[in-house]
Amino acid sequence: MTSTYLPVKDTGPEQISRIWVATLVALLASLVTCTAGARPPATERPDRDMERTDMGWMQQLREMASHGIYMVERASDDSRNRLSKRAGSSKPQQIAAYSGYANDSHVWVHGRVLASRPIATATGAETWWQNLHATFQRWESDEVAAAEVKLRYGDKVFPVVTDDEGYYAVRLDRNPAVPASEDVTATYADGEVLLIATHRVFSPHRDAQYLIVSDMDDTVLHTGITDLLTAARLTFLGNAKSRKPLPGVAGLYRALMAGGEGTATNPIFYVSNSGWNLYDLLDHFIEINDLPGGPLLLRDLGFNDRHASSREHKAETVRHLLERFTSLPVVLIGDSGQHDAEIYADIATSFPGRVLAIYVRDIDPRIDSPYDLDVDSVFDEFSGTQVPMVRGEDSRAFAEHMQTLGILPLESSERVAGSAIRDDQRGRVGR
């Protein structure tokens, strides 16, 4: 897609208001196109070719919505930057230091410098209006370009400079004298401004048996993709406290971290097509719901990544993990609402012997939907890989199958079931 620059001739209050309204429209359009593919159960299935044509049409709408968000963001950034320069208010106010990871040779960290204050951590007492305002704050980010950040790892300092959207990403050489999980400290100093943040670094323990790679939306976190109103409510009016994990997922992932004998410390990576703008919400969500900690590998939905599809982002991220942790096989977990089945099956083909199993959570259990048919079709096509591929409706079903492979110890499914019951007792999703 050819990028289009949307010029901003007026930078007054009326133009800013129009940008905010356009941003809301673009976000709503994106939400609609992401959920429009959800279909109610049908007693008579449409022609399969027609079904695929419909999905192709929806994909085009998604790309149009994504391009619309990019144009609105470009206009917003241009307008804000002009106002900031006139007012002298473009000073950095925070370093968003995302979690990183390390292998035996290198450390990878990623962050962003912003001219807006950090969003307050949710307490659970927020009103719908406060949640909506926080959503706007996340997506109307005030990035700082060309800012020099100094990264301290061990006894060395590495200077990096942010790109046009305020991001920096760096690969550091591992220092053998420094523990693999040593944090990386990020510092920005300019005149009276001093910002310090810490990148938490995750690294596989020496007793690790395998990697765990999991999607987030509708794999860990309920998004309501099959219902537009529910999806809109959760997306715009919710926060980390009001959102819930899918029943049993925390118990399942903690069992996976302990491994087949219950004594390992297996690393988990959360790979999502959500934007980095949502990092604080998702990171807090993982913490308060007793999910095991691990790097959140999200997506830049702005300039740098506007040409890359969500499918390409996830596939490339998983490939990087397998290339960087060559001694460990992987368990892949996703959902039926996206392309996870096909992405993971492709990975299994490209990395023979490295994928222990693929698990796809059914987003509309007990319904024979087009999503299910697509997943089953992919699994049939890639059955020659000899990799177990399972479509299941809940965490207990996954745990039961994992027990048969030795990925989890016996009786794990009962503990996961207990975890699911406790999750259900906390109330309806989104409360």
Q: Which stretches of 87-230 are assigned E, i.e. beta strand?
A: 94-97, 100-102, 106-114, 148-153, 156-161, 167-173, 184-190, 193-199, 201-202, 211-214
Q: State both tokens at 36.
A: 């429009």
pLDDT of residue 383: 86
> Within 10 Å of residue 365's Cβ, how many Cβ atoms?
14
pLDDT by residue, tens only, the chain of 431 residues: 333 333 333 444 444 454 555 455 455 545 544 444 444 433 333 444 444 444 444 444 444 544 455 455 555 555 555 444 444 457 899 999 999 999 999 999 999 999 988 777 777 776 766 767 667 777 777 889 999 999 999 999 999 999 999 999 999 999 888 888 899 999 999 988 999 999 999 999 989 999 999 999 889 987 755 555 555 555 666 666 777 888 899 999 999 999 888 888 999 999 998 889 889 989 999 999 999 999 999 988 754 444 456 678 899 999 999 999 999 999 999 999 888 999 999 999 999 999 999 999 998 888 888 888 999 999 999 988 899 999 999 999 999 999 999 999 988 888 888 888 887 776 544 43
The DSSP letter of residue 278 is: G
CB 386 within 8 A of CB 392: no
Q: Which stretches of 347-388 are assigned E, i.e. beta strand?
A: 355-361
CB 364 within 8 A of CB 334: no
Q: State both tokens at 137.
A: 């704050």
| Paired strand residues for 180 | none
- How far from 129 is each of 79, 159, 291, CA to CA, in Å? 25, 40, 28
Q: State both tokens at 359.
A: 């698990």
Helix/strand/coil for 197: strand
- Alpha-carbon span 69 to 58, nearest angstrom: 17
- Alpha-carbon span 123 to 131, nearest angstrom: 11
The DSSP letter of residue 103 is: -
Q: What angle do CA 29, 18, 92 make, to 5 degrees?
A: 95
Amino acid symbol at 134 = A
Name, in order, each residue with C-beta under 8 angstroms of 23's C-beta and a sequence gap of 6 or more: 69, 72, 73, 76, 136, 139, 140
- Alpha-carbon span 78 to 155, nearest angstrom: 39
pLDDT of residue 29: 47
Amino acid symbol at 169 = A
- Alpha-carbon span 5 to 2, nearest angstrom: 10
The dihedral region occupied by 52, where left means phi > 0, alpha psi between -120 and 50, and beta the remainder, is: alpha
Amino acid symbol at 268 = I
Q: What angle do CA 402, 331, 283 make, to 5 degrees?
A: 110
- Alpha-carbon span 332 to 393, nearest angstrom: 16
- Provide φ and ψ at 401, rounded to 5°: -70, -40
Q: Which residue has the tokens 């001694």?
A: 327
Q: Is the dihedral of CA 302, 303, 309, 312 positive or negative?
A: negative
CB 314 within 8 A of CB 343: yes
CB burial string 109-128: b at 16+ within 10 A, e below: bbbbbbbbeebeebeeebee
> Within 10 Å of residue 304's Cβ, how many Cβ atoms?
14
Helix/strand/coil for 272: strand
Q: State both tokens at 268.
A: 């988990």
